[in-house]
């Protein structure tokens, strides 16, 4: 490794006031032709490039990013990682990712600050209780750790939750996945970028894709703001803008792009050492290592690419937060932002070939793509390299909207969609 990070390199660089660290990834000019091109330099796209180079020995590839790497949804999400999904196909997909997360810092030689602090999902009515218990059983049958907690156990696990029976939506219990947690989202993009760059992948920022050139049903290259680039394989990982790229290739996708909001508070001392999500009232909260409360709100109920989101959505979330955590009533919110999420009708992603040869899509992650980043990259790389899906992403093909074999995680996925 050309520039291995360790305690020794840290000490060595301390002597030169940390001014001689090498750039973690380069700033290359695009070549005229690549073996494969990944459109989108977020976590999923960079992970795809990393695994294409590492596991499939495709080194002559490029990642094209319209802005800067990790500047889209990778840097806008609430960093929650879990795999407690209901259906077998989803459990396989998300737990594959979780297993990679567990060793990712070591593999990348980059501290992604993965913290298995547990994710708790609250139940607020009898149907929630039935659904969450069912999901706990389904998780266990799939080898995913999950336990049911009653109201007292919820209080014990997270003492600041208001478990009074008098609140509008009382806490009737919850599920806990202890292996779940959070990671530093920017570090994931940076770590993958550094790893991919080291294996010869060109990461080209400020390079917007303007068109996709086809010859019949085979792709020939991409038209970009930095000129035409020839390639036989294109992997699109453009999140909220997937439909925009698809339209360039004359393709329609079953997606709607909507703003999803999050906000953080002023930093305070450690008060909540886990992630608590609540489906029924749509509020979830965790605390970053800097001390900010990280709060996730909902999506706007209409298509928009504005990266803003509506105030009433934030207001609804904060009302629920205050009812569940009265202790936060005098906290000030520091920042609020929106990211554009591409939502599938069945709230499951698409990692698939298309009917155009050499064009692959990894999209539809909707409100919960961050947790899948390493698994998504690994499986998408497999799909691109072999022109065939891996068995773990076979169910997430584009054809399921024709066959009707949907992976319906709506509501069952433990967050409101």
Partner 1 sequence: MFLINCPYCGERDQSEFSCGGEAHIVRPKQPTELSDDQWAEYLFMRKNIKGIQFERWNHAHGCRKWFNMVRDTSNDKIHAVYKMGEKPPVE
Nearer to partner 1, 132 or 249 (CB): 249
Nearer to partner 1, 62 or 255 (CB): 255
List binders of partner 1 among 171-230 (CB under 8 A). Answer: none
CA dihedral 272, 278, 281, 286 (to 10 degrees): 30
Nearer to partner 1, 308 or 410 (CB): 308
Q: Minimum Å distance from CB 298 to partner 1? A: 13
Nearer to partner 1, 92 or 369 (CB): 369
Q: Are 154 and 123 in contact (CB under 8 A)?
A: no
Nearer to partner 1, 108 or 253 (CB): 253
409 lines the binding site for partner 1 (CB under 8 A): no
Q: Which of 241, 371, 382, 417: binder of partner 1 (CB under 8 A)?
A: 241
Nearer to partner 1, 267 or 345 (CB): 345
Q: Minimum Å distance from CB 243 to partner 1? A: 4
Q: Minimum Å distance from CB 290 to partner 1? A: 29
Q: Minimum Å distance from CB 303 to partner 1? A: 5
Q: Is 256 left (phi over 0), alpha (psi -120 to 50) or beta?
A: beta
Nearer to partner 1, 91 or 341 (CB): 341
Q: Minimum Å distance from CB 245 to partner 1? A: 10
CA dihedral 380, 88, 299, 361 (to 10 degrees): 20
**How many chain residues are in contact with partner 1, going by CB under 8 A?**
28
Q: Which of the stretches 100-108, 212-220, 227-235, 236-244 binds partner 1 when contact is defined by CB under 8 A?
A: 236-244
List the one residue out of 417, 373, 285 whose CA is nearest residue 94.
Answer: 373
148 lines the binding site for partner 1 (CB under 8 A): no
337 lines the binding site for partner 1 (CB under 8 A): no
List the one residue out of 319, 332, 336, 184 whose CA is nearest residue 268.
Answer: 332
255 lines the binding site for partner 1 (CB under 8 A): yes
Nearer to partner 1, 203 or 255 (CB): 255
Cβ partners under 8 Å of residue 396, min gap 6: 89, 93, 348, 349, 350, 351, 352, 389, 407
Q: Which of 41, 254, 366, 374: binder of partner 1 (CB under 8 A)?
A: 254
Sheet holding 202-204, edge to edge: 202-204, 61-64, 36-39, 234-236, 359-363, 350-353
Q: Which of 6, 244, 334, 405: binder of partner 1 (CB under 8 A)?
A: 244
Reading the block at residue 410, the tokens are 């709506």
List the one residue out of 40, 28, 3, 77 whose CA is nearest residue 263.
Answer: 77
* Max CA pair span of the chain: 66
9 lines the binding site for partner 1 (CB under 8 A): no
Q: Are 169 and 280 in contact (CB under 8 A)?
A: yes
- Rounded to the nearest 10 degrees, what angle do helices 373-386 and 43-56 cross at? 50
402 lines the binding site for partner 1 (CB under 8 A): yes
Nearer to partner 1, 165 or 404 (CB): 404
CA dihedral 193, 198, 199, 205 (to 10 degrees): 40
Q: Which helix (H) or strand (E) holds 374?
A: helix 373-386
Q: Which of the stretches 11-19, 24-32, 181-189, 400-408 binds partner 1 when contact is defined by CB under 8 A?
A: 400-408
Nearer to partner 1, 134 or 210 (CB): 210
Q: Is 113 left (phi over 0), alpha (psi -120 to 50) or beta?
A: left
Phi then psi dihedrals of residue 84, to 5 deg: -85, 60
d(CA 194, CA 304): 33
Q: Are 183 and 98 in contact (CB under 8 A)?
A: no
Q: Minimum Å distance from CB 263 to partner 1? A: 15
List binders of partner 1 among 289-318 (CB under 8 A). Answer: 300-306, 308-312
Show the binding pattern over residues 353-392: x = contacts partner 1 (CB under 8 A), - = does not. Answer: ----------------------------------------
User: Residue numbers of the site for partner 1 (CB under 8 A)?
Assistant: 241, 243-244, 247, 252-257, 300-306, 308-312, 342, 345, 401-404
């Amino acid at each position: 490794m050309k520039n291995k990070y360790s305690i020794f390199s840290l000490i060595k660089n301390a002597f030169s006031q940390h001014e001689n660290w090498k750039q973690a990834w380069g700033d290359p000019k695009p070549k005229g032709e690549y073996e494969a091109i990944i459109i989108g330099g977020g976590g999923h796209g960079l992970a795809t490039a990393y695994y294409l180079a590492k596991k499939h020995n495709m080194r002559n590839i490029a990642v094209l990013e319209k802005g800067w790497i990790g500047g889209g949804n990778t840097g806008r999400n609430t960093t929650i990682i879990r795999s407690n999904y209901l259906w077998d196909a989803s459990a396989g997909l998300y737990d594959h990712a979780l297993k990679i997360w567990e060793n990712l810092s070591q593999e990348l030689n980059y501290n992604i600050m993965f913290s298995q602090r547990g994710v708790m999902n609250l139940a607020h009515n009898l149907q929630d209780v039935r659904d969450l218990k069912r999901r706990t059983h389904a998780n266990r049958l799939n080898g995913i750790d999950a336990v049911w907690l009653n109201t007292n156990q919820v209080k014990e696990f997270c003492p600041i939750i208001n478990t009074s029976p008098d609140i509008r939506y009382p806490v009737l219990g919850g599920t806990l996945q202890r292996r779940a947690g959070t990671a530093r989202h920017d570090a994931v993009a940076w770590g993958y970028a550094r790893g991919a760059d080291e294996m010869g992948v060109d990461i080209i920022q400020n390079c917007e894709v303007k068109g996709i050139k086809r010859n019949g049903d085979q792709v020939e290259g991409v038209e970009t703001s930095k000129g035409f680039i020839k390639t036989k394989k294109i992997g699109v990982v453009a999140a909220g803008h997937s439909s925009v790229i698809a339209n360039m290739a004359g393709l329609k996708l079953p997606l709607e792009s909507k703003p999803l909001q999050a906000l953080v508070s002023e930093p305070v001392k450690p008060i909540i050492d886990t992630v608590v999500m609540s489906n029924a009232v749509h509020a979830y909260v965790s605390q970053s290592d800097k001390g900010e409360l990280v709060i996730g709100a909902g999506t706007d109920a209409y298509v928009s690419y504005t990266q803003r989101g509506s105030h009433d959505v934030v207001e609804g979330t904060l009302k629920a937060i205050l009812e569940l955590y009265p202790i936060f009533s005098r906290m000030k919110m520091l920042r609020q932002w929106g990211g554009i999420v591409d939502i599938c009708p069945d709230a499951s992603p698409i990692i698939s070939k298309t009917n155009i040869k050499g064009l692959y899509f990894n999209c539809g992650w909707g409100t919960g793509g961050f947790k899948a980043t390493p698994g998504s990259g690994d499986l998408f790389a497999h799909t691109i390299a072999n022109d065939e899906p891996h068995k773990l992403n076979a169910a997430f093909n584009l054809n399921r909207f024709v066959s009707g074999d949907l992976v319906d995680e709506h509501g069952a996925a433990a967050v409101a969609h």
